[in-house]
């Protein structure tokens, strides 16, 4: 959406992979410069691997990279730090249903593929992630015991992870989050939470806001 009046445009379709698929479900996308990196997810085949499509905004063109990892990854949190993309938690198809791994893709050396860059303290899938001041904040997510309200903070420079001592006010997964340059944190949208009366998982339209939970993990 580029226009001030809300005009929407459609990009050219992504390329077919050698499997014939090009759609994505439960993967992730981030923008670095003029490129949007779309990685992972289901129906990206073949052979249960993780593939990458890159959309260049300036040229309206796609570039395809197959087999950036030898497992199919989905339902992870994703965010960039500099020229590197980090995939945190999620699910490994035919592997860990709740992953604790942190994967990294260096966009200056895509041929090297995804590398394991560390781990998080609590394995989650469907988390939210924000990148701020060179540190990744993994927010909430679904654990084997249900939704959580944890802030897990991962420092790419040291591969250290800590759990912040002040959790979110709600257990959730599959939510959206963002941080302003001044450090105001926003969390909400179509998040899933446990209804306090019925105990069921329900959607919520709440938007939570507050200061970023800074913590020294260097």
**pLDDT of 218 higher than 60:** no
Using an 8 Å Cβ cutoff, are 35 and 58 in contact? no
* pLDDT in the model for residue 216: 60
Instruction: Provide mean pLDDT across the span 200-217.
Output: 77
Backbone angles phi, psi at 111, to 5 degrees: -60, -25
Average pLDDT, the chain: 88
Q: Residues 90, 96, 65, CA angle at the centre, nearest 5°?
A: 60
CA atoms within 13 A on the CB side of 194: 13
* pLDDT in the model for residue 47: 61
Q: Reduce the secondary structure of the chain to three states and give it as a string.
A: CCCCCCCCCCCCCCCCCCCCCCCCECCEEEEECCEEEEECCECCCCCCCEEEEEEECCCCEEEEEEEEECCCEECCEEEEECCEEEEECCEECCCCCCCCEEEEEECCCHHHCCEEEEECCCCCECCEEEEECCEEEEEEEEECCEEEEEEEEEECCCCEEEECCCCCCCCEECCEEEECCCCEEEEECCEEEECCCCCCEEEECCEEEEECCCCCCC
Q: What is the pLDDT of residues 128-166, one digit of tens each?
A: 999 999 999 999 999 999 889 999 999 999 999 999 888
Percent of the chain at pLDDT exceeding 90: 58
Question: Is the whole-model pTM more than 0.85?
Answer: yes
**Which segment of 58-67, 73-82, 142-151, 199-208 scores lowest on mean pLDDT?**
199-208
* pLDDT in the model for residue 46: 54
**pLDDT of 48 higher than 60:** yes
């Amino acid at each position: 959406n580029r226009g001030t009046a809300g005009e929407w445009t459609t990009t050219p379709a992504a390329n077919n992979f050698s499997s014939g698929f090009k759609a994505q479900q439960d993967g992730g996308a981030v923008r670095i410069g003029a490129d949007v990196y779309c990685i992972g997810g289901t129906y990206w085949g073949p052979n249960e691997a993780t593939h990458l499509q890159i959309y260049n905004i300036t040229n309206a063109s796609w570039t395809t990279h197959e087999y950036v990892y030898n497992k199919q990854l989905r339902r992870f949190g994703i965010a960039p730090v500099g020229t590197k993309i980090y995939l945190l938690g999620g699910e490994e198809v035919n592997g860990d249903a709740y992953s604790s791994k942190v994967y990294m893709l260096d966009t200056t050396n895509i041929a090297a593929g995804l590398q394991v860059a560390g781990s998080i303290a609590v394995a989650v899938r469907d988390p939210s992630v924000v990148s701020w001041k060179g540190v990744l904040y993994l927010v909430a997510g679904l654990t084997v015991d249900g939704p959580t309200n944890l802030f897990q903070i991962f420092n790419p420079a040291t591969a250290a992870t800590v759990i912040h001592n002040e959790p979110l006010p709600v257990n959730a997964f599959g939510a959206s989050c963002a941080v302003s340059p001044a450090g105001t944190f926003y969390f909400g949208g179509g998040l899933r939470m446990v209804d306090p009366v019925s105990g069921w998982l329900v959607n919520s339209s709440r938007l939570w806001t507050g200061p970023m939970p800074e913590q020294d993990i260097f």
